[in-house]
Amino acid sequence: MKKILSILLVFALVLTFAACAGTGEENDSNPSESKEQGSNSATTEPANDDGKIRIAEVVASTGSIDDRSFCQGTYEGIKKYADENGISYGYYQSVDDSVAEFVNTIKLAVNGGAEIVIAPGYSWNAAIYEAQSMFPDTAFVIIDGEPNNGTETVCGANTYSIYFAEQQAGYLAGYAAVVDGYRSLGFIGGMAVPAVVRYGYGYIQGIEDAAKDLGLQPGDITLRYHYLGNWDPSPENQTFCTSWYSSGTDCIFFCAGDVTNVGMAAAKQVGPEKAVIGVDVNQGYEDECVLTSAMKGVDTATYSALQEFYAGTFPGGQIVTLDASQGGVGLPLVDETWRFNAFTKEDYDALFEKLASGEIQVPTDTDYETADQIPVTMFTVEIV
């Protein structure tokens, strides 16, 4: 099983790298080619003769298909499948983040020829809840969310909901960082939304278990923990990150969208010994200060959903969580971004297998209300 899971993770990494390599050129040569009622679509070759976009991603106004994270991972999965099969694809972006505008953006995608619409993020929950009944002949995939109107969840026969066990990816990152010698650690999340909370809780448990396994003493490790309340790569957030690095934090796990970019800048500003842990996709290609990335296979899951749709086996009506046993989460294994010294790939394989088998259980977002409630004994979670 370990070999199969490792192959899946390497496959996901190869997809990420290949797509990233062409993203900049593609975005430059394909700005939004059509605009309807304020919502944007960008079409990429090959296109059908009728000019319709058959596979569409919908993106919130605050999102981006080149965010080096979640939305980009979704688009990379779309791009790979569409390119391999000669199907037109593109994206539509809302002008604001209201439910009405999200529904309007989905309408534009369907009216533009979309056979399947893929929505990354829980913010699309209410819009997908409405759209799945408005457009019963269109398939919907929602990643990290489910069709919910605030009162009830109804996953229609034309909708597939995909979650990930982010807590397992966070666990791997925290454990590896401690084994590699980091003792002053940090966690910075954008907002306390379920996926971010799961990453953070897993990170805490991984740090705790590694400290025990190494025979460290209570207090040898410190952990700062903070939610910014936004996802902005702003000067203010960079200053905040810099203050942590300058005051002794050596490695910070960023689960905050584009804030990771200013986190990298802050790490480099303070010194070469400072490290970043990326999130969602392999961000190690961005800078050498990235020690590792807590990944979930957004691109692979998107690709697989498209495979099933076009094979006539679309898993509509299902809400699934992809974990280590399914190759849904992990750390990047490619040599180019493997920057650990003491933590080996053999260590990783052994730890990953314990997660996949269920031998290691990791707390999830519903287990504790706040991070400092997690029962750790080797350090104190300092909520800032």
3-class DSSP assignment, residue 159: strand
User: Along the 384 residues of the chain, how does pLDDT read in single tens digits?
Assistant: 333 333 333 333 333 333 333 333 333 333 233 333 335 554 454 555 578 999 999 999 888 888 777 888 999 999 999 999 999 999 999 999 999 999 999 999 999 999 999 999 999 999 999 999 999 999 999 999 999 999 999 999 999 999 999 999 999 999 999 999 999 999 999 999 999 999 999 999 999 999 999 999 999 999 999 999 998 999 999 999 999 999 999 999 999 988 999 999 999 999 999 999 999 999 999 999 999 999 999 999 999 999 999 999 999 999 999 999 999 999 999 999 999 999 999 999 999 999 999 999 999 999 999 999 999 999 999 999
Q: Of 2, 74, 10, 72, nearest to 331 (Cα)?
A: 10
Distance CA 302, CA 15 (A): 12
Distance CA 255, CA 101 (A): 26
CA-based radius of gyration for the chain: 20
223: which strand partners? 185, 381
> Both tokens of residue 291?
């020690």
305 Cβ neighbours under 8 A, 6+ residues apart:
118, 141, 160, 162, 314, 315
Count other Cβ atoms within 10 Å, centred on residue 345.
14
Opening angle at CA 261, ends 101 and 220, nearest 5: 120
> Both tokens of residue 51?
């000019």
pLDDT, tens digit, 9 for 90 and up, residues 30-77: 323 333 333 555 445 455 557 899 999 999 988 888 877 788 899 999
Place of tokens 């929950």: 125
Domains by residue range for the chain, with CATH = 32-164 (3.40.50.2300), 170-295+363-383 (3.40.50.2300)
CA distances from 105 to 33, 37, 221 (A): 16, 9, 47
Residues 270 and 289: beta-carbon distance below 8 Å? no
Residues 284 and 275: beta-carbon distance below 8 Å? no
pLDDT, tens digit, 9 for 90 and up, residues 269-300: 999 999 999 999 999 999 999 999 999 999 99
Distance CA 269, CA 274 (A): 9
According to DSSP, the β-strands at 39-44 and 34-36 are antiparallel
3-class DSSP assignment, residue 257: coil
Percent of the chain with pLDDT over 90: 82
Alpha carbon 303 to chain centroid, angstroms: 15
DSSP symbol at 267: H
Q: Which pLDDT score is estimated for 267?
A: 98
Preceding omega of 147 cis (within 30 degrees of 0): no
Distance CA 100, CA 103 (A): 5
Distance CA 257, CA 278 (A): 10
Give the global pTM: 0.86
